[in-house]
A and B are shown apart, each in its own frame.
Chain A
Amino acid sequence: MTDIVAGRVASTPVAARRVRSRVGFSWIVPALYIFFLLVPIYWLLNMSFKTTNEILGSFSLWPREFTFANYAKIVSDPVWYNGYLNSILYATLNTVISVSAALPAAYAFSRYRFLGDKHLFFWLLTNRMAPPAIFALPFFQLYSSVGLFDTHIAVALAHCLFNIPLAVWILEGFMSGVPKEIDETAYVDGYSFQRFFFKIFIPLIAGGIGVAAFFCFMFSWVELLLAKTLTSVDARPIASVMTRTISISGYELGVLAAAGALTIIPGAIVIYFVRNYIAKGFALGRV
């Protein structure tokens, strides 16, 4: 019969066996890719710390005459500071509006069938296809006529056009991953819909909300054409401030590079802060 010595572990730690090696060379692929992503950014930084003379005079992989002059030229202009604030403000506003409008809609798509649901979903998606290049003028007229031109809310609302469909889709994916039994149990336990939705359901898909918010912020932050069209002074986005600075300073590569580097920073900070959310959201499953 089976014989056992119900184990007591020796008090001295046993030499750990070498685990069968599964670490192959697959890390090379993402590593090379990340290298490819970082090289142009490095080059931008490199140029931004060089003097115009050095850029034009010699070719070097790192700045020989390290200078902050290019940055100084930009930061001394108060328009820059406001540009940052404006962009962050409308991107955040848009994220809040998009995600809160998308939450109930995504719930409806993930839990119910209703008249025209499939077509509606596709129609939402189609709004990403409208070419902003030609829609810019109508947008300008629309927001001028309702008196919202050059406000943050105008840009935030306009960006809903492509962000809401995306948020609905991402959230729908996460919500479909939550078993329906959870809803049913909550109703049996006497929860009202609102209480269930906010107390139970939202915490369950927190990761998904993080991912959706990240994408909304991202697309709102990087979009320029609509943002530029709908603003002039008070809500002017940072990227358009950058264009202006460059046209004033003429074609100076160093200043252009510094301006570019400065617009990357907020994005990098956002990613750094949401990185755990994103990783968790991804681990949670479907996007």
Chain B
Amino acid sequence: MARIDLADIAHAYGPRPRSEADYALKRIDLTFKSGGAYALLGPSGCGKTTMLNLMSGLLVPTQGSVLFDGIDVTEQTSEQRNIAQVFQFPVVYDTMTVYENLAFPLRNRRVDGAVLDGRVRQIADMLGLTRSLGQKARRLTADAKQKISLGRGLVRSDVSAMLFDEPLTVIDPQLKWQLRSQLKTLHRQVGNTMIYVTHDQTEALTFADTVIVMYDGRVVQVGTPEELFERPNHTFVGYFIGSPGMNVLPAWVEGRTATVAGHPISLPRTYEKPSGTRIELGVRPEFVKIAADGKGLPVHISRVDDVGRFKIARVRLAGHALNVMVGEDVQLSGVAAAIEFDPSHLHIYADGELVEGRA
């Protein structure tokens, strides 16, 4: 295992990038601690797979360098970097048995005999593949194949990092859950640096200790799942994480007061008049309440969805759509209601970015 540093890295797929738009990955500086479990989260096309391939050595960055434990590996091949990677679609060697598949990376590295056999059996046992060791790999189901791809990474005891590129895409939903928790267990057992690319927030938040949220070739926030939820750095993070995402309302802010659609709202912190053309107030649906006594911001309820443990009310406040989480026991009658915000969970954004206020 290794610590991975991406030092001032940027990547463009074209040969001569001219403008910022040519870059699939804009200038980024990032450190992955040894033994950490990371997730790269973002919508498709945000550059997360590019970043992964830069680390694995399948791509060479246009600029900047990749360091493994402080050593520059930018020009090294994947093999030299000694990383393992699991791809979106399971890659197995069709003509080989499961055993041969697992042994393949070791044989290529001239590991043989008892060491190889012991290692292969240990990994097969860990992944629950022992019974199918003698079978041809192409006969297996998608999830078993994906376990083999994973196993080919695990079988090498000295890999610097394990990279996952949306590995659960082709797995059935019920097995997805099972494999996901198995991965988490594996991380605890093996203690390797693991980096997991996904566009599914559930996968990211359950697997990773640290989530890196990406958008349009940039890293917009790095943090624990709690931090991403409690304090989104960017309105994008607010939208993308949480279900439904954060409500964002145009606001006018001065001091400890924000004005939304003519209604004053008191804020937890003091803000100088923030600079930026677009000033917004962000609040998660979890922190919006239907006011029992009818005192608060007047809204118009357009729809209520019952999603099990709670309900989601879709309301409109002076033309702006908001989602409100409502407890199962709360009765909503009629179309008019009033809402109030939990003052400790209000955030102010200028042009999409979080504005720090003074306490």
B63 to chain A: which residues have CB within 8 Å?
14-17
Q: How far is the CB of A15 from chain B (nearest CB, A)?
A: 7
Question: Is B18 a contact partner of A13 (Cβ separation < 8 A)?
Answer: yes
Interface locus among B106-114, B217-225, B248-256, B265-273: B217-225
Q: Any chain A CB within 8 A of the CB of B123? A: no
Question: Is A7 a contact partner of B28 (Cβ separation < 8 A)?
Answer: yes
For window 1-46 of A, CB contacts with B under 8 Å fall at: 1-11, 13-17, 19-20
Closest to A11 in B: B20
Question: Is B20 a contact partner of A9 (Cβ separation < 8 A)?
Answer: yes
Contact mask for chain B residues 1-39; partner A; CB cutoff 8 A; 1 contact, 0 none: 000000000101001111110010011111111000000
Compute how far the CA of A20 lies from the CA of B16 in the bound complex, rounded to whole angstroms.
Answer: 15
Q: How far is the CB of A64 from chain B (nearest CB, A)?
A: 45
Compute how far the CA of A10 lies from the CA of B26 in the bound complex, rounded to whole angstroms.
Answer: 9
A2 to chain B: which residues have CB within 8 Å?
30-33, 210, 212, 222
A5 touches which one: B29, B32, B212 (CB < 8 A)?
B29
A7 to chain B: which residues have CB within 8 Å?
10, 26-29, 218-219
* Size class of the contact patch on chain B: 20 to 34
Q: Any chain A CB within 8 A of the CB of B61? A: yes
Known interface pairs A2-B210, A7-B26, A10-B27; A17-B62 also in contact (CB < 8 Å): yes
Compute how far the CA of A20 lies from the CA of B79 in the bound complex, rounded to whole angstroms.
Answer: 14
Q: How far is the CB of A4 from chain B (nearest CB, A)?
A: 5
Question: Is A9 a contact partner of B26 (Cβ separation < 8 A)?
Answer: yes
A16 to chain B: which residues have CB within 8 Å?
12, 15-17, 62-63
Q: Any chain A CB within 8 A of the CB of B75? A: yes
Q: How far is the CB of A16 from chain B (nearest CB, A)?
A: 5
Compute how far the CA of A10 lies from the CA of B218 in the bound complex, rounded to whole angstroms.
Answer: 14
Compute how far the CA of A15 lies from the CA of B15 in the bound complex, rounded to whole angstroms.
Answer: 10
Question: Is A9 a contact partner of B31 (Cβ separation < 8 A)?
Answer: no
Compute how far the CA of A20 lies from the CA of B81 in the bound complex, rounded to whole angstroms.
Answer: 15
A3 to chain B: which residues have CB within 8 Å?
29, 31
Q: How far is the CB of A35 from chain B (nearest CB, A)?
A: 29
Q: Any chain A CB within 8 A of the CB of B228? A: no
Question: Is B60 a contact partner of A20 (Cβ separation < 8 A)?
Answer: yes
Compute how far the CA of A2 lies from the CA of B26 in the bound complex, rounded to whole angstroms.
Answer: 18
Known interface pairs A9-B27, A13-B16; A20-B75 also in contact (CB < 8 Å): yes
Compute how far the CA of A7 lies from the CA of B16 in the bound complex, rounded to whole angstroms.
Answer: 19
Compute how far the CA of A99 lies from the CA of B18 in the bound complex, rounded to whole angstroms.
Answer: 47
Compute how far the CA of A56 lies from the CA of B30 in the bound complex, rounded to whole angstroms.
Answer: 77
Closest to A10 in B: B27
A20 to chain B: which residues have CB within 8 Å?
60, 75
Closest to B23 in A: A9
Closest to A15 in B: B63
Question: Is B222 a contact partner of A4 (Cβ separation < 8 A)?
Answer: yes
Contact mask for chain B residues 205-229; partner A; CB cutoff 8 A; 1 contact, 0 none: 0000010100000111010000000
Compute how far the CA of A7 lies from the CA of B23 in the bound complex, rounded to whole angstroms.
Answer: 11
B28 to chain A: which residues have CB within 8 Å?
4-7
Max chain B Cβ within 10 angstroms of own Cβ: one of A4, A9, A19, A20: A9
B20 to chain A: which residues have CB within 8 Å?
9, 11
A17 to chain B: which residues have CB within 8 Å?
60-63
Compute how far the CA of A51 lies from the CA of B16 in the bound complex, rounded to whole angstroms.
Answer: 53
Question: Is A13 a contact partner of B17 (Cβ separation < 8 A)?
Answer: yes
For window 145-164 of A, CB contacts with B under 8 Å fall at: none
B31 to chain A: which residues have CB within 8 Å?
2-3
Compute how far the CA of A11 lies from the CA of B10 in the bound complex, rounded to whole angstroms.
Answer: 13
B210 to chain A: which residues have CB within 8 Å?
1-2
Closest to B75 in A: A20
Question: Is A4 a contact partner of B27 (Cβ separation < 8 A)?
Answer: no
Contact mask for chain A residues 258-284; partner B; CB cutoff 8 A; 1 contact, 0 none: 000000000000000000000000000
Max chain A Cβ within 10 angstroms of own Cβ: one of B30, B210, B220: B30
Compute how far the CA of A5 lies from the CA of B222 in the bound complex, rounded to whole angstroms.
Answer: 10
Contact mask for chain B residues 76-117; partner A; CB cutoff 8 A; 1 contact, 0 none: 000000000000000000000000000000000000000000
Closest to B234 in A: A6
Closest to B210 in A: A2
B222 to chain A: which residues have CB within 8 Å?
1-2, 4
Q: How far is the CB of A7 from chain B (nearest CB, A)?
A: 3
B32 to chain A: which residues have CB within 8 Å?
2
B16 to chain A: which residues have CB within 8 Å?
13, 16
Known interface pairs A2-B222, A17-B62; A8-B26 also in contact (CB < 8 Å): yes
A5 to chain B: which residues have CB within 8 Å?
27-29
A8 to chain B: which residues have CB within 8 Å?
26-27
Q: How far is the CB of A265 from chain B (nearest CB, A)?
A: 38
Q: How far is the CB of A17 from chain B (nearest CB, A)?
A: 6
Question: Is B18 a contact partner of A4 (Cβ separation < 8 A)?
Answer: no
Q: How far is the CB of B196 from chain A (nearest CB, A)?
A: 15
B23 to chain A: which residues have CB within 8 Å?
9
A6 to chain B: which residues have CB within 8 Å?
28, 218-220
Q: A3-B31, A4-B28, A8-B26 are in contact. List 5 more A-B contacts (CB 8 A).
A: A4-B30, A5-B29, A7-B10, A9-B23, A15-B63
Closest 3 CB pairs of A and B: A7-B27, A7-B26, A14-B63
A and B contact pairs by CB, cutoff 8 A, 28 listed? A1-B222, A2-B30, A2-B32, A2-B33, A3-B31, A4-B30, A4-B219, A4-B222, A5-B27, A5-B28, A6-B219, A6-B220, A7-B27, A7-B29, A9-B10, A10-B27, A13-B16, A13-B17, A13-B18, A14-B10, A14-B62, A14-B63, A16-B12, A16-B15, A16-B62, A17-B63, A20-B60, A20-B75
